[in-house]
Amino acid sequence: VIVAFVSHREIQILASELYKQNITGLQWIGSDAWITDSSLTDSEGHTILLGSLGFAVAKANILGLGEHLRQLHPSQFPNSQFVKDFWEEVFDCSLNETVNIERQPCSGFESLQTTESQFTDVSELRFTKNVYKSVYAVAHALDVIIKCDDNKKTFFNRSCLDPKHIQPWQVLQNLNNINFTTGDGERVYFDSNGDSPARYELVNLQITTKGIMEGETVGFYDDSLPDDQQFLMDNISVAFANGLLEVPVSVCSKKCLPGTYKVLQKGKPICCHDCIPCPAGEITNLTSLQCLKCPVESWSNNQSDACIPKPVEFLAYHEILGTVLAFFSLLGIFLTMITTLIFFTHKETPLVRANNSELSFLLLFSLTLCFLCSLTFIGRPTEWSCMLRHTAFGVTFVLCMSCVLGKTMVVLIAFRATLPGSNILKWFGPAQQRFSVLAFTLIQVLICVLWLITKPPFPFMNMALYEDKIILQCDLGTAIGFYTVLGYIGFLALLCFVLAFLARKLPDNFNEAKFITFSMLIFCSVWITFIPAYISSPGKLSDAVEIFAILASTYGVLFCIFLPKCYIILFRPEQNTKKHIMGKTIKIDIQY
């Protein structure tokens, strides 16, 4: 682009020299001193100025001036050489009385009414229009002074002014207050700085139908209009350099779109750059040139041009993992209820009675609660669900282990009771069994209450795990409380395992110890592997790991302890008789 703020004479010299040097195809921006000058068409190399754009004073529309000029005649100005030369040039005749070989004498009937010339084209009197407005402005200021009466006192003189003694400063004072409209509808006024509103036409040099280069108005600028209406450009009618119909690009790289930022190309001009996408979590928009980081709870969209709220994730029922875990939890509840129904309908059978039916039913109830508590780990964490899930897990599993521990101790004590002279069975009857289960469970309840009082679990948004999403999970509050609950369950499970292991070789009618041993082996294995898996699992997977551990250990206890009994009750009823069990009891007496 060449911005030429020069006169029409200088632009002719400049254009001619550039034409000789074959420097073409550049977009010219001109000033009003030459953008509308008609003499450019006669200069050498003017074609390189085609497509030039520039602001010029608006065309004139002085009412009556054109009609007045067309009525002029040389007879009105007998002594004006200018009028004489103009007339002879327009009509190609001679006003001299002497004979002119080149031109015929003028007839005297020539008229400008039927002739087109620069003299009669008043639309190009752009600067003359300013003179016209200036004269009218002074006339309006004088009019205010001359029409002064007792109700119109000037600021500087309390009495009306004498028209014969008007001072320039008095005219200036009234010029600041004028506001009138010219015959063509243009409003004339002055602002507080004494400036009139800027009004310009946007002129484009084009080749007209006549084959000559002329300035065509393709827009305007009017400072008196509202801000969003001050400038108007008709892009369709603009012809740019090289005949382009689109705005020429003056940079070697396109403007970076939102979502990217500029990186300058080494060794090239500053307008040469690469557009690099913003890093994840950062954006650029129409107002920012550098990538800006999104707020902590937001993330950049795919286009990196806007920050959107991060998605909040948790282990939900509608996702596959949550659905599968919920299904196995409900399946466990269903199987436990079926087992309870089988035991209840056969509660008077020797097998059920020999295996401590009261503790068996209590154990089935605790297993049902264990399956139920796994459901509290699924769904959106809340303040209540976070406190409930860990405390319910701790209490129900201790209740389960207490029942298993009670059954194991019954097996050992029952064996001791068969020895001659032993009365140990009276020290661990049904009342003592209930008390032991209650005591072991109350200890866990006390631990959970202390945990909830001191620093209970609470929901929190984990934003450190993933950059582009928020994991909603339960914070343990204090890890000491959680591991104390878990440790107490582990202690009871280990105690059950040791006692059941010691009783594994008792006679067949007490073979429940073998099943308890297997169930506790599964239980301990699951929860030993749970701790490293829980610590290393990110986000909602830690909840899934805990649910899996709950379900696996609960299924292990249910299948190992109750499945063999259900098999005998349903498919081997001949073994579920008093004679069968008493026969094995006699065998014990013989052995010992």
Domain carrying residue 140: 119-183
Task: Please provide the size of the chain in residues.
Answer: 592
Domain match, 303 and 328 both: no
CA distances from 355 to 402, 406, 429, 527, 585 (A): 16, 11, 13, 27, 14
Task: List alpha helices for 455-577, DSSP H.
Answer: 479-502, 512-536, 540-571
Number of domains in the chain: 4
pLDDT tens digits, 44-71? 667 888 889 999 888 878 888 888 888 8
Domain match, 333 and 273 both: no
Domain match, 48 and 6 both: yes
Residue 190 lies in a domain: no
> Angle 449-454-459 (CA atoms, 0-180°, nearest 5)?
90
Residue 280 lies in a domain: yes
pLDDT tens digits, 476-533? 888 888 888 888 988 888 888 888 777 666 655 545 677 777 888 888 888 888 878 8
Domain match, 302 and 233 both: no
Domain match, 349 and 437 both: yes
Residue 235 lies in a domain: yes
Cβ–Cβ < 8 Å for 262, 289: yes
pLDDT tens digits, 416-425? 555 444 455 5
For residues 130-154, average pLDDT = 78
The residue with tokens 């030993």 is 528
Domain match, 303 and 379 both: no
Residue 13 lies in a domain: yes
Query: Residue 324 is encoded by which pair of tokens?
Result: 């599968």
The pLDDT value given to residue 572: 80
Query: 174 Cβ partners below 8 Å, 6+ apart?
Result: 141, 142, 144, 145, 154
Domain match, 274 and 374 both: no
Of 374, 389, 381, give the one whose Cα is nearest residue 316. 381
Domain match, 298 and 348 both: no
Residue 350 lies in a domain: yes
pLDDT tens digits, 332-352? 999 999 999 988 888 888 777
Domain match, 360 and 391 both: yes
Domain match, 442 and 555 both: yes
Confidence tier at 579 by pLDDT (50, 70, 90): low
Cα 31 from Cα 249, distance rounded (Å): 21
Phi, then psi, of 359 in degrees rounded to 5: -70, -30
Cβ–Cβ < 8 Å for 536, 313: no
Domain match, 363 and 217 both: no
pTM recorded for the entire structure: 0.55
Of 557, 522, 551, give the one whose Cα is nearest residue 378. 551
Residue 87 lies in a domain: no
Residue 128 lies in a domain: yes
Residue 84 lies in a domain: no
In the three-class reduction of DSSP (H, G, I as helix; E, B as strand; rest coil), residue 323 is classed as helix
Cα 391 from Cα 202, distance rounded (Å): 80
Q: Is 479 exposed, middle or buried (0-12, 13-18, 19+ CB in 10 A)?
A: exposed
Domain match, 228 and 299 both: no
Report the CATH number at residue 11. Answer: 3.40.50.2300
> Angle 178-58-128 (CA atoms, 0-180°, nearest 5)?
70
Evaluate if residue 592 carries a pLDDT over 50: no
Confidence tier at 157 by pLDDT (50, 70, 90): very low
The pLDDT value given to residue 542: 84
Partners of residue 274 on adjacent β-strands: 263
pLDDT tens digits, 203-250? 998 888 777 888 888 999 988 888 888 998 887 788 888 777 778 776
